[in-house]
Amino acid sequence: MPSQKGRDLLLKIGDGAEDETFTAIGAARTVAMTVNNQSADATSMADGGIQVLNAAAGVQSLSLRLEGIFKDSAAEESLRALAFSRAACHFLLQFPNGDSYGAPFVVESYNRGGSFDGLETFGVTLLRAGDGVFTAAGEA
């Protein structure tokens, strides 16, 4: 399988409309997705001291981490307003091979910074706040 370009991994924010339109937040320098599957301990005394896990009863979480520079002031305003509102919003993660994953997310952390001789940067961590939809390339 050929390697994929990290710069083609895009995170887009939804506009909340009925027929939702997604817009790229900015020029991402790094984007990372983490899936955690926390299983439930179903060990009983009859298990002879060997732990038994029940994955179906556990909790799955998904987080996205994005660092980069904003596309424009509208993108910064949208993300900042979402961070302060603590509300869920739909985001779309597009992978270089054409796959995509969309779900509602809440902003766990948001930061902005910059230096006197550089561009303003930002970082955001998003936590999935509901069911998501994975779409394989070519299925859309």
Q: What is the pLDDT of residues 122-135, one digit of tens each?
A: 999 999 999 999 99
Distance CA 99, CA 132 (A): 13
User: Nearest CA to 41 among 49, 52, 32?
Assistant: 52
Q: Tokens standing for 14?
A: 């939804």
**Nearest one of 11, 23, 4, 7 to 103, comparing CA atoms:** 11
* Structural domains present in the chain: 6-135 (2.30.110.20)
pLDDT in tens, 37-88: 998 999 999 999 999 998 888 899 999 998 988 888 888 888 999 999 999 9
On whether the pTM is more than 0.85, the answer is no
